[in-house]
């Protein structure tokens, strides 16, 4: 699986990037987002078979189609370590509540910060650490948040080897619960920065730095 930019860079043959390259590079050099050059085709019979899988096995089957440069044995270890009862409070990970016949509510807020973004972020934290360890590299993450994204990112990256997180948030403009989640973390690699202004001011700082290669 190779990835290309939504803005045109990396479209030429040989200039595409792998999943691991995209994982630790963030935005494309042209400021675009990276997306698969082609999407995998999943036969209907395979999709039907997915219905029988427990959540970690289903997550593995989907992610392995996109993270093709991570050996499958390693990927399974990462996925199984991510989606556990200890983290999500239930063996089902995303349990279902039936509302009426053929209509169910899926619970995506069982992660450590009670945000649906935990579902992806918890895996990304482990994937970042895995790739950085393999490459003997370090990564600095600079981000802006209005609340839930920042918490999910910090709880996924806290204590991860080779990662430093600098999270900008608008001073006094998040809920008390969100501030408590973020500002109570004492992990040495997590740095919260309260910015006088609104979320857009935080985002502008991040964009200005990201555009200065």
Residues tagged active-site = 117
Report how far residue 70's alpha carbon sits from residue 159's, in angstroms, rounded to the nearest whole number. Answer: 22
184: its two tokens: 């109570």
Residue 170 dihedral angles phi and psi, to the nearest 5°: -75, 120
Three-state DSSP string of the chain: CCEEECCCCCCCCCCCECHHHHHHHCCCCCCCCEEECCCCCCCHHHHHHHCCCCHHHHHHHHHCCCCCCCCHHHHHHHHHHHCCHHHHCCCCCCCEEEEECCEEEECCCCCCCCCCCHHHHHHHHHHHHHHHHHHCCCEEEEEECCCHHHHHHHHHHCCCCCEEEEEEEECCCCCHHHHHHHHCCCCCCEEEEEECCCHHHHHHHHHHHHCCC
Angstrom distance (rounded) from CA 87 to CA 91: 10
Kindly state the tokens that stand for 43.
């036969």
């Amino acid at each position: 699986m190779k990835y290309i930019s939504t803005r045109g860079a990396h479209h030429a043959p040989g200039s595409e990037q792998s999943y691991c390259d995209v994982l630790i590079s963030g935005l494309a050099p042209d400021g675009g987002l990276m997306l698969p050059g082609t999407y995998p085709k999943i036969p209907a019979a395979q999709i039907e078979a997915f219905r029988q899988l427990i959540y970690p096995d289903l997550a593995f089957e989907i992610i392995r189609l996109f993270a093709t440069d991570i050996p499958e044995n390693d990927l399974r270890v990462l996925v199984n370590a991510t989606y556990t009862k200890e983290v999500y409070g239930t063996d089902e990970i995303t349990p279902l509540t039936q509302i009426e016949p053929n209509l169910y509510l899926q619970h995506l807020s069982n992660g450590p910060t009670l945000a649906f973004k935990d579902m992806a972020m918890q895996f990304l934290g482990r994937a970042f650490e895995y790739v950085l360890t393999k490459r003997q590299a370090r990564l600095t993450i600079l981000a802006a948040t209005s609340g839930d994204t920042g918490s999910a990112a910090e709880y996924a990256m806290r204590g991860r080897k080779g990662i430093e997180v600098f999270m900008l948030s608008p001073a006094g403009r998040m809920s008390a619960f969100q501030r408590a989640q973020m500002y109570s973390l004492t992990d040495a690699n997590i740095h919260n920065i309260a910015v006088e202004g609104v979320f857009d001011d935080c985002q502008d700082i991040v964009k200005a730095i990201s555009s200065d290669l």
